[in-house]
Amino acid sequence: MIFFCNRNTITDVMQFTVSARGKVSAVPIQQFIRKNYNDLPIEQIDSFFGFTEASTLYGGRFFASTELSRYDVRSLYKMNINVRLPLTNHYATAEEYEENLPFLEKYHRPGNSLIITNDELAGWIRADFPDYRLEASVIKNINTLSKVDAAFEIYDTVILPMASNDDEDLLKSIDNKKNITLFANAGCAYTCPSKICYPSVSKANKTGDNSLFQCSQKLKERNTIGMHDFDLDHLQALGFERFKLLRPRQGNMTGF
């Protein structure tokens, strides 16, 4: 079961987007929630993010198999929980976008959202699928006020990097706090000096060649063990309401 700081004082205002990373599609989503997020009220789960069927637009993590099955998606809708698709690949062509239109159409409904890194892809989707909420990915490393303001010209919501939770001057300077997503907890990206994994995963998901994966751990020392829990009471007091909740890997390793 997952725990993080000050869970007992979570208010109804807080909303969470929750990780289905590493979930086996054969495990029903209800069982997955009971095992991993049983202490998080259902009504405060805005969405689950993870892989549905295969798409070359995925990034961030390798696509190995379906995490959210068709049954899971239907069940989430019945629980008034939305679906967030991590279309965070760095690279996208117009031809590839056309090939993914049936996939995008399938999940196009009010409440569902797409996490995006490529601004051009965001523009194509905005024009063709206006009901999606578009969220600027953490991979974009939006860590200054000018970057936040520029992102809001394209995206509905913006995910700040994990380390930005420690930048109180930045957090206080943001006017549109209600459309900012902060991390509730953090894995290895919190201390990663270069994050070279992200572009390498983008390339691997295009080709299916996982040998393309690269990790900065081979180059620079960083902490890959355990999860860091942020003080949600304090972040909420600053005006933030939207949080992204990760799931630790087995053995208390970094999160999915």
pLDDT at 73 (0 to 100): 98
Q: Minimal CA–CA distance to 202: which of 93, 107, 109, 103?
A: 93
pLDDT at 213 (0 to 100): 65
What whole-number distance in Å separates Cα of residue 154 and Cα of residue 166?
A: 25
CB contact set of 55 (below 8 Å; sequence gap of 6+): 63, 85, 87, 100, 103
DSSP 226: S
Residue 253: how many other CB atoms lie within 10 Å: 14
pLDDT at 6 (0 to 100): 43
User: Is 3.40.30.10 the CATH number for 7-187+226-255?
Assistant: no
pLDDT at 249 (0 to 100): 64
Helix (H) or strand (E) holding 183: strand 180-183
Output the tens digit of pLDDT for each of the chain's 256 residues: 343 444 444 556 899 999 998 899 999 999 999 999 988 999 999 999 999 999 999 877 667 789 999 999 999 999 999 999 999 998 899 999 999 999 999 999 999 999 999 999 999 999 999 999 999 999 899 999 999 999 999 999 999 999 999 999 999 999 999 999 999 998 776 776 666 666 666 666 667 766 666 666 665 555 555 678 899 999 999 999 999 998 866 655 554 4
Report pTM: 0.85
What whole-number distance in Å separates Cα of residue 157 and Cα of residue 134?
A: 7
pLDDT at 160 (0 to 100): 97
